[in-house]
Amino acid sequence: MSKKKSKASRNLIDRDLKVVWHPCTQMKDHEKIPLIPIKEGKGVWLKDYDGNQYIDAISSWWVNIFGHSNPYINKQIIKQLGNLEHVLLAGFTHEPAVNLAERLIKLSPQKIKKCFFTDNGSSAVDAAMKMSYHYWKNKGFKKKSKFISLSNSYHGETLGSLSVSNIDLYKKTYEELMIDTIIVESPDCYLKDENHTDKEHTEIMFDKMLKVIEKKHKEVCAVIVEPLVQCAGYMRMYHPIYLKLLREACNKYHIHLIADEIAVGFGRTGTMFAYEQSKITPDIICLSKGITGGYMTLSTILTTNDIYNAFYDEYTKLNAFLHSHSYTANPIACSAANATLDIFEKEKTILKNKELSNYITKSLKNIVNHNHVGDVRQHGMIVAIEMVKDKLNKKPYSWKERRGIKAYEYGLKNNVLIRPLGNVIYFMPPYVIKKKEIDKVITTIEGAIDIATK
Distance (Å, whole) CA 125 – CA 357: 29
Q: Does 291 bind ligand PLP (CB under 6 A)?
A: no
Q: Which helix (H) or strand (E) holds 48?
A: strand 45-48
Residue 2 · residue 50 · CB < 8 Å: yes
> How many residues line the site for ligand PLP (CB under 6 A)?
15
**Contact window for ligand PLP (CB under 6 A) among 209-217, 225-233, 272-280, 417-425:** 225-233
Q: Which of 77, 259, 262, 285 binds ligand PLP (CB under 6 A)?
A: 262
Q: Does 232 bind ligand PLP (CB under 6 A)?
A: yes
What residues have CB less than 8 Å from 163, skipping those under 6 apart?
Answer: 147, 178, 179, 180, 181
Q: What mask of x and - would describe binding to ligand PLP in positions 128 to 157, judged by CB under 6 A?
A: --------------------------xxx-
Q: Does 231 bind ligand PLP (CB under 6 A)?
A: yes
Q: Does 188 bind ligand PLP (CB under 6 A)?
A: no
Cβ closest to ligand PLP, residue 80 vs residue 288: 288
**Least CB distance to ligand PLP at residue 130 (A):** 15
Q: What SS3 state is found at 374?
A: strand
Helix axes 71-83, 331-347, angle to 10 degrees: 150
Q: What SS3 state is found at 291?
A: helix
Residue 377 · residue 383 · CB < 8 Å: yes
Q: Which of 48, 126, 188, 226 binds ligand PLP (CB under 6 A)?
A: 226
Cβ closest to ligand PLP, residue 138 vs residue 186: 186
**Least CB distance to ligand PLP at residue 243 (A):** 14
Residue 243 · residue 258 · CB < 8 Å: no
Cβ closest to ligand PLP, residue 13 vs residue 421: 421
* Strand-strand pairing, 182-184 and 146-150: parallel
Identity at 69, one-letter amino acid code = S
The DSSP-derived string for 239-278 is -THHHHHHHHHHHHTT-EEEEE-TTTTTTTTSSSSGGGGG
Q: Does 122 bind ligand PLP (CB under 6 A)?
A: yes
Q: Which of 59, 64, 120, 363 binds ligand PLP (CB under 6 A)?
A: 120
**Least CB distance to ligand PLP at residue 289 (A):** 6
Q: Does 186 bind ligand PLP (CB under 6 A)?
A: no
Site of interaction with ligand PLP (CB under 6 A): 120-122, 125, 154-156, 226, 231-232, 260, 262-263, 288-289
